Structure 1
Amino acid sequence: MASVDDALRPTRGRGVVEGAFALLEALRRHALGAGVTELALECQVPKSTAHRLLDQLVAVGAVERHGDRYRVGSQLYRIGHAWQPHPGLRLAARLPLHRLRATTGASAVLTVLRDDLALTVSSVPGEVEPLVPVRDGMSFPLDTAAGRALRGPVRAQAALDREDVVPGVCCAALPVRSPEGRTVAALAAMVPVGRRLEAVTQAVAEAGAAITRGLALGVGASVELPPVLLH
């Protein structure tokens, strides 16, 4: 009979930690949960190994089991929310993102460059939610407005998307800079087609400036934005 150690030895060149993270990544893609057979096939590990790894992840709270299905656990959620792509960025962006949504109706998205993608680290759904749902953790290709703003240089003008990616949706994006002038993120506002992108761009610029001021003031500091009237 194989021992626990035998079952957890590297499989096909994959170590224990790598196998555990492969299962967690698969669970991230299955918001409603997945069974051990499905996860083992997707991660290319033996079912017995997947089962043992999942049991260990359940024991530390990284995974939750509901019947015969597994989901990402609360402990992993708490650990993940401690990550900061730049010190104080998500806290400094909280109020500006909500004000951007309130003044434009846009879905406001803050992204950072990770693995050649624009990774969403903070978001507020807006009017285009039925067409483009936005969620923290989702990624955009670098040929989108958010991606182009991250790649830079975008200074005088915003990176604009006029239904280039999704029919009926336009987007304006600008870099978010640290107090020292380094690009640390990109801020994008997605609005329904027909909205004046000039006014949206101005609102994005003001929100980005507010985030920069918040970073300069310290973690969690925020500066309110003046209302922007759209016509």
Structure 2
Amino acid sequence: MDNGKARRTGGVAETAAPGHPERGRGVLEGAFALLDALRRNGDEAGVTELALACGVPKGSVHRLLDQLVGVGAVERRGNRYRVGPQLYRLGQAWEPHPGLRTAARLPLQRLRAASGASVVLAVLREDMALTVGSVPGDLEPLLPVRDGIAFHLDTAAGKALRGPLRGGPVFDREDVMEGVCCASLPVRAPDGRTVAALAAMVPAGHRLDALAQAVAEAGAAVTRALARGGGQRRPVPPAALVL
């Protein structure tokens, strides 16, 4: 009777021993490592780049990428790979709080239109702030804002998330980045819990008290939308499903 066995699935070596879960780098772990490497690369990457980033042999990376391409999680263009549409669709289904992203969409757009600011909606995830909604403003391309960016809690948005706040808005007066100021406030659920932070970033020299008032109004609009249930997604009727 074997004390253990080794096998290779999707190009990633796995080992198993009697009475123990499979050890080593699993297929799922390897796949997600590749997807994260593609995300961090920003646009496209080749097999060699991904193998170096993940510490996986090139042959294993190639086989995993072929499988990810097959399910639409990755797209291939020549010898380059990038994140695919299926992964995007799955990601869009994630909600940090029920209805939050949909409820915040219009208030974020209005805040951007009223202030010219780069606007982000961030939630707390594993001791980091994670951007789940964003609208680029006057600071582009100096300070791009994008969904899915994680940042430390020493920013204005991070401090607004950690809270309750007693002194009102949190201001960043070029503390994190020269030439950039920020006003941030927590976003509350109808029951009063902090579910996110809303931050507006502008070039230095802008009036932050007026900006903070606009951020507070946008945050209140998100709370009202959550209370109305307007951010909730309606279930898709069975007849609309494509099998």
Mark yes or no: TM-score above 0.5: yes
How many pairs align? 220
Report % sequence identity. 71
Question: Per-residue CA shift, 1:177-209, capped at 9, x if unaligned?
Answer: 100111100000001111111110011111001
**AA aligned opposite 1:180:** D
Partner of 2:14: 10
SS in 1 for 2:187: strand
- Pick aligned residue for 1:195 from 200, 206, 218: 206
- Provide the rounded CA distance (Å) in 2 between the counterparts of 1:130 and 1:49: 37
Deviation at 1:96, TM superposition (A): 0.5
Partner of 1:88: 99
SS in 1 for 2:185: strand
- Compared with structure 1, are the counterparts of its residues 59 and 97 closer, same or farther at alpha carbon in structure 2 (3 Å cutoff)? same
Partner of 2:236: none
- Provide the rounded CA distance (Å) in 2 between the counterparts of 1:60 and 1:176: 37
**AA aligned opposite 2:112:** R
CA contact (8 A) 1:140 1:146 kept: no
Greater RCO, CA 8 A, separation 6+: 1
CA contact (8 A) 2:157 2:199 kept: yes
Please list every run of 5 or more consecutive structure 1 residues that lacks an aligned counterpart in the other structure: 222-231
- Compared with structure 1, are the counterparts of its residues 155 and 91 closer, same or farther at alpha carbon in structure 2 (3 Å cutoff)? farther
**AA aligned opposite 1:196:** R
Partner of 1:225: none
Please list every run of 5 or more consecutive structure 2 residues that lacks an aligned counterpart in the other structure: 1-6, 16-22, 233-243
Q: Does 1:60 align with 2:71?
A: yes
- Compared with structure 1, are the counterparts of its residues 217 and 155 closer, same or farther at alpha carbon in structure 2 (3 Å cutoff)? farther
Deviation at 1:10, TM superposition (A): 2.6
Question: Per-residue CA shift, 1:144-194, capped at 9, x if unaligned?
Answer: 000000011224411110000111110000000100111100000001111
TM-score (norm 2): 0.86
Partner of 1:78: 89
Higher Rg of the two aligned structures: 2
**AA aligned opposite 2:93:** A
CA contact (8 A) 1:87 1:219 kept: no
- Provide the rounded CA distance (Å) in 1 between the counterparts of 2:44 and 2:204: 36
Deviation at 1:9, TM superposition (A): 2.7
SS in 1 for 2:14: coil
Q: Does 1:149 align with 2:153?
A: no
TM-score (norm 1): 0.90
- Provide the rounded CA distance (Å) in 2 between the counterparts of 1:219 and 1:24: 33
